[in-house]
């Protein structure tokens, strides 16, 4: 049998080491807790991170923020995660079909608003979203905020006319907000909590009249196959407990 020696062996080893090096992630020997969370939770959860890590110094919380439909699909496909926080029940239920989810609980609520670029004066309510030629951006149907927005347009009795004005279906709520803040879209529907200080000067927020009974509810659960059950449970408890309520409240979320 021919054995690998010298330069040839070095090339093969180098390739193997390179591949190994690329696939392991950086981290100073801490336990990583992977939290998949709805995009709209980004600021509130990031606020919570420091407190949790102070209580668990051996842990590094790693967030995966995206539209809940993407996170649910990742969980169904077997992606590693320890905690999932969804912006609606539908996507939590979809994740649950994987058989990997612990029972979920509602930990916060939100409110829908209409946004327009700063300086706009023409939009007063949902009825104005039906104006011919208006460029409306929503999140896609499977995205929680997209589903809530369609439901709210329905309640307001303007669903079909407003949907005829949609020029793009975004994959998460921040995509909608970005298009409006950038002035490319005339209007969009997002959560009240998405208007961060940074964006407050770039968009005008209009109440979504008639959508009072469409109340976005966030659900959280640990994954049953998480190798860090205790930690995952502790994170869920923190989010659903007083510390979580304070952090979420500060960012404008409503109590469950």
Partner 1 sequence: MSLKPGRPGHAHLAIGLLAGAAVVFFALPLLGLLVRVAPAELWRQLAAPSVQTALRLSLYVSLCAAGLSLLLGLPLAYALARLPFPGRGLARALVTLPMVLPPVVGGTALLAAFGRRGLLGGALEHGLGVILPYTTGAAVLAATFVAAPFLVITVEGALRGLDPRLEQAAATLGASRLRIVGTVVLPAIRPSLIAGLALCWARALGEFGATITFAGNLQGRTQTMPLAVYEALHDSPDGAVALSLILLAVSLALLAALRGHFFKGAG
Provide the binding-site residues for partner 1, judged by CB under 8 A. Answer: 2-9, 11-12, 15, 67, 69-70, 72-73, 76-77, 135, 137, 140, 142, 166-171, 179, 182-185
Q: Are 71 and 98 in contact (CB under 8 A)?
A: no
- In sequence order, the 6+-apart residues with CB closer than 8 A to the CB of 107 are 85, 218, 219, 220, 239, 240, 244, 248, 256
Nearer to partner 1, 9 or 224 (CB): 9
CB of 2 to partner 1, least distance (A): 5
Q: CB neighbours of 106 closer than 8 A, spacing ≥ 6?
A: 217, 218, 219, 256
CB of 212 to partner 1, least distance (A): 29
β-strand pairing of 105-109 with 217-222: antiparallel
In angstroms, give the least distance from the CB of 150 to partner 1. 15
Q: Taking the CA atoms of 24, 29, 34 and 39 in sequence, report the sign of the dihedral they define.
A: negative
In the complex, the smallest distance separating the C-beta of residue 184 from partner 1, rounded to whole angstroms, is: 5
- Closer CB to partner 1, 59 or 138, in the complex: 138
Pick the closer one to partner 1 by CB: 84 or 235.
Answer: 84
Query: Which residue's CB is nearer to partner 1, number 134 or number 217?
Result: 134
- 254, two tokens: 């409503």
């Amino acid at each position: 049998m021919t054995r690998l020696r010298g330069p040839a062996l070095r090339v093969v080893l180098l390739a193997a080491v390179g591949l190994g090096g690329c696939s392991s992630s950086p981290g100073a020997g801490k336990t990583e807790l992977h939290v998949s969370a709805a995009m709209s939770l980004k600021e509130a959860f990031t606020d919570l991170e420091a407190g949790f890590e102070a209580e668990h110094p051996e842990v590094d919380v790693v967030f995966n923020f995206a539209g809940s439909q993407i996170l649910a699909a990742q969980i169904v496909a077997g992606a590693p995660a320890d905690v999932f926080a969804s912006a609606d029940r539908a996507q939590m239920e979809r994740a649950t079909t994987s058989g990997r989810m612990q029972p979920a609980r509602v930990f916060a609520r939100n409110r829908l608003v209409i946004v327009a670029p700063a300086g706009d004066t023409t939009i007063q309510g949902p009825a104005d979203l039906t104006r011919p030629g208006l460029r409306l951006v929503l999140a896609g149907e499977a995205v929680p905020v997209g589903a809530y927005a369609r439901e709210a347009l329905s309640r307001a009795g303007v669903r079909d006319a407003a949907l005829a004005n949609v020029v793009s279906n975004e994959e998460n709520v921040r995509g909608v907000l970005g298009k409006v803040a950038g002035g490319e879209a005339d209007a969009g529907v997002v959560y009240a909590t998405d208007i961060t200080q940074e964006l407050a000067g770039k968009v005008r927020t209009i109440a979504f009249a008639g959508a009072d009974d469409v109340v976005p509810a966030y659900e959280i659960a640990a994954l049953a196959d998480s190798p860090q059950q205790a930690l995952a449970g502790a994170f869920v408890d923190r989010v659903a407990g007083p510390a979580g309520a304070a952090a979420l409240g500060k960012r404008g979320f409503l109590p469950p």
